[in-house]
Amino acid sequence: MTPARRLVGALLLGATTAAGAQSVIPLPTRMDRAAGVFRLTTATPVAVSDLADSDLAFLATYAADVVRDAIGRTARLAPAPATRATRGAIALIRDPAASDGGDEAYRLDVRPGGITIAASTVAGLFYGVQTLRQLIPARGPTGRRGVPAVTVVDHPRFRYRGMHLDVGRHLFPVRFIERYIDLLARYKLNVFHWHLTDDQGWRIEIRKYPRLTEVGAWRRETVKEKNLDPYVGDGIPYGGFYSQAQVREIVEYARRRHVTVIPEIELPGHSQAALAAYPELACTPGPFEVRTTWGVDEDVYCPTERTFAFLEDVLTEVLDLFPSPYIHIGGDEVPKTRWKESAEAQGVMRREGLKDEHELQSWFIQRIERFLLARGRRLIGWDEILEGGLAPQATVMSWRGTAGGIAAAQQGHDAIMSPGTHLYFDYYQGDPAFEPLAIGGFTPLDRVYAYEPLADTLTPAEADHILGAQANVWTEYLRTPDQVEYMALPRMLALAEVVWSPREARDWDGFKRRLAPELAALDRLGVNYRVPHVEGLETDQLTLQPRVTLRLSAIRPDATIRYTTDGTIPDATSPRYTEALALPVPSGGVTVTARAFLPEGRASPARAATFRRTTLRAAAHDTAGLEPGLAFAYHEFTQRVSRVAALDSVPPVRTGVAPRVALRGDERDEWYGYVFRGFVRVPDAGIYSFTLTSDDGSTLAIGDQVVVDHDGYHGAQDRSGQVALAAGHHPVTIRFFQATGGRELRVRIARAGEETRDLPTQWLFHQR
């Protein structure tokens, strides 16, 4: 590979999308079509405004490769500087006056006489080239392409547009890390959050502490799938790390593509790999081993002077490798057990006047923050860093829902929104029965696209503290680059539009139309994206009718939909869907399974829904003495629980009446639950869908029928169920428990054919 080709990067410049201004992702701020086209030929040069600027010179080569892909031959570089009067060329003009919209703004003008991209920074020009790339028709048999005449005036909505990748659990080659960065840059994402250390592996060379990679980078085996209880390992030693030379190469590769690499060095928790290498950093003597399972370990860094000397040495080398203004220190999931039992930790608390271990964690992080601030860097931590008091200039990354980010913004701190409900790309994208093994959860493409980083509760001044949003790719169950690509794309494209495009311009149907040609481009790049599943089979359905009519669709218009009604997974020989299906619903129900097959031979995961006949559930007859609200019982546990049945084993701490199903805000930090009981009054007969959003488990029953079973220990997720109800009052019981980590409880309802909404408070009653 030549140095020029090495710098340009095969992936990002490899393929272009279909013609037309409506193919661009993320959607620009403004696009105005004009008359005519610019004919891109082998004679089209690329010109830049300053031939001596090395970054512009790189961008010129980069743009020339875009042309190469379109016409089969690399464009020549013009020997003379570009101006706005340059004709017949792709002119890249750095103009300090072209700064409306900020440093990343650009203006792209395509006219029959030439193409001009103007911006105040090379980053803006780079993003203009990305838009141009999507406007050029896909390469075909001819050697010239007609680029539609258009004016694009564009700038990002948020300044932080991030993607994360965990290499602590599974390691990926340098070339794939660069390919991943290429994908970010392709869609105008500008931050790569590189999660480099965790309990299961230390992945960055630290020269002063060689045992971090000699010992901490290797685990003796890895748990096999989800065989945690009883534990089953795969018996295969696993490990590796990135040398400092490789890190520098990746950081420079990203810089050329206007992507900032933010390293994450986990502390004070998720430190088992480091403790295996240097056990003296723990509060207990050890020995420790690099963890072979996932989850949270009780052993963490002890808040001693030897620990801070170690961490400051490590961070000194990290700062030398990463010029990013931010350093991520984790700060999440820190058990306090060892600190409570440690004489050294308790001594620190007495010396510093700290009332509990939460304040000790805050003190620990604030000390690290002072070290970073003294060296001109800012600290980012997961939202647990709010507990015990937030470090003065820390930025909060809100992952346990959105509450942490909102709280930080309201306190005048910067925040980055990264909620598990919408932006955890290690969650399932479809029915787990048809998907590769994942950690859990459910984050389909449309949910990512629907995410809004700015809460309506924030004032304009508070909203200014929301820097942007980031999606996370944790790799407990992702061992290969192909698996990472499958989980990240096309959800990454939805995120790109959320953080770049104007809020009012976002439109799901329009996004799907623009997504189709971009997926075809990813096919040409060889990206193992997940082919979106067939739409129209979102959930199992109840019906009161003897027949159902199904309308199926695929995001790729060139896809062929094939289906079955016998419970088998469709293949290339299954019946082809051509028009709406009218199907009888027998007494035992009917299951329809469908897949989208692409011309290239790939296919989507299967999507299935079962349709069953039902009858209306009769309303309660005796409703005398009902009053507004649901009766509730609040319970507290002495240890972490994993099922709602635990609520029956402990008496309630308090009882009362709640106007809605929600957390009240006066609960303890962990290990508690609620039981809500009463009646829900539905005004009209019909089939109703109830959706529980909870972290952790929950159930909803109508009478003795469990309609939504969302039990178990899990993060914030949705689960829905249906029931046919006659008009009137129906007994309802909602159970919920919180174990550790996040906490969330929400109930929504929708009558068939209507929008989902929060369960109305005026529908809730209890027996006096």
Residue type, 1: M
pLDDT tens-place string over residues 302-318:
999 999 999 999 999 99
| pLDDT above 50: residue 571 | yes
Express as a percent the part of the chain with pLDDT over 70. 96
- Please state which CATH class domain 626-767 belongs to: mainly beta
4 pLDDT band, cuts 50/70/90, is: very low
| pLDDT above 80: residue 701 | yes
Fold category of 541-613 in CATH: Immunoglobulin-like (2.60.40)
| Predicted local distance difference test score (pLDDT) of residue 465 | 98
| pLDDT above 80: residue 346 | yes
Half-sphere exposure of 408 (CA within 13 A, CB side): 33
* pTM beyond 0.85, yes or no: yes
- Calculate mean pLDDT across residues 660-685: 95
The least confident of 69-83, 152-166, 179-193, 465-479 is: 69-83
Residues 724 and 706: their CA atoms lie apart, in Å, by 13
Residues 77 and 91: their CA atoms lie apart, in Å, by 10
What's the Cα-to-Cα distance from 295 to each of 170, 284, 379, 396, 401, rounded to whole Å? 15, 20, 24, 22, 19
| Predicted local distance difference test score (pLDDT) of residue 441 | 86
**Could you please report the per-residue DSSP string of 574-617?**
SPBP-S-EEEE--TT-EEEEEEEE-TTS-BPPPEEEEEEE--PB
198 is catalytic: yes
Q: Residue 256: CB partners within 8 Å, gap ≥ 6?
A: 7, 55, 58
| pLDDT above 70: residue 235 | yes
Q: Is 443 helix (H, G, I), strand (E, B) or coil?
A: coil
The least confident of 9-13, 99-103, 611-615, 737-741 is: 9-13
pLDDT tens-place string over residues 429-464:
999 999 999 998 899 999 999 999 999 999 999 999
> Which of 104, 198, 205, 744 does the annotation list as catalytic?
198
What's the Cα-to-Cα distance from 502 to each of 26, 172, 726, rounded to whole Å? 10, 34, 43
| pLDDT above 50: residue 8 | no
Long-range CB contacts (within 8 A, 24+) of 31-37 = 31/150, 31/151, 31/152, 32/150, 32/151, 32/152, 33/148, 33/149, 33/150, 34/110, 34/111, 34/149, 34/150, 34/151, 35/149, 36/111, 36/112, 36/149, 37/110, 37/112, 37/146, 37/147, 37/148, 37/149
pLDDT tens-place string over residues 502-545:
999 999 999 999 999 999 999 989 999 999 999 999 889 999 99
Q: How much is the CA Rg of the chain, to the nearest whole Å?
A: 28
Cis peptide before 148 (omega within 30 of 0): no
pLDDT tens-place string over residues 152-173:
999 999 999 999 999 999 999 9
pLDDT tens-place string over residues 81-109:
888 878 899 999 999 888 788 999 999 99
Q: Can you name the residues that pair with 627 across neighbouring β-strands?
A: 766
pLDDT tens-place string over residues 190-229:
999 999 999 999 999 999 999 999 999 999 999 999 998 8
pLDDT tens-place string over residues 260-290:
999 999 999 999 999 999 999 999 999 999 9
Residues 311 and 380: their CA atoms lie apart, in Å, by 16
| Predicted local distance difference test score (pLDDT) of residue 74 | 78
> Which of 297, 333, 431, 462 does the annotation list as catalytic?
333
| Predicted local distance difference test score (pLDDT) of residue 144 | 63
Distance of CA 505 to the CA centre of its chain: 21
435 is catalytic: no
| Predicted local distance difference test score (pLDDT) of residue 139 | 60
- Calculate mean pLDDT across residues 729-747: 92
- Calculate mean pLDDT across residues 643-660: 96
pLDDT tens-place string over residues 126-158:
999 999 999 998 765 455 678 999 999 999 999
Is 476 in contact with 199 (CB distance < 8 Å)?
no
| Predicted local distance difference test score (pLDDT) of residue 5 | 33
Smallest CA-to-CA distance from 196 within 176, 216, 225, 181 is with: 216
270 is catalytic: yes
Q: Answer positive or negative: Cα dihedral of 175, 181, 187, 193.
A: positive
| Predicted local distance difference test score (pLDDT) of residue 3 | 34
> Which of 155, 164, 270, 714 does the annotation list as catalytic?
270
718 pLDDT band, cuts 50/70/90, is: confident
- DSSP-derived pairing of the beta strands 698-702 and 705-710: antiparallel
Tokens 């080709």 belong to which residue?
5
**3-154 classified as CATH 3.10.110.10:** no
| pLDDT above 60: residue 639 | yes
Question: Domain limits of the chain?
Answer: 3-154, 160-525, 541-613, 626-767
| Predicted local distance difference test score (pLDDT) of residue 19 | 38
CATH number of 160-525: 3.20.20.80
| Predicted local distance difference test score (pLDDT) of residue 141 | 47
13 pLDDT band, cuts 50/70/90, is: very low
- Calculate mean pLDDT across residues 603-627: 93
Kindly state the helix (H) or strand (E) to which residue 488 belongs, with its residue range: helix 481-488
- The pLDDT mean for the chain works out to 93
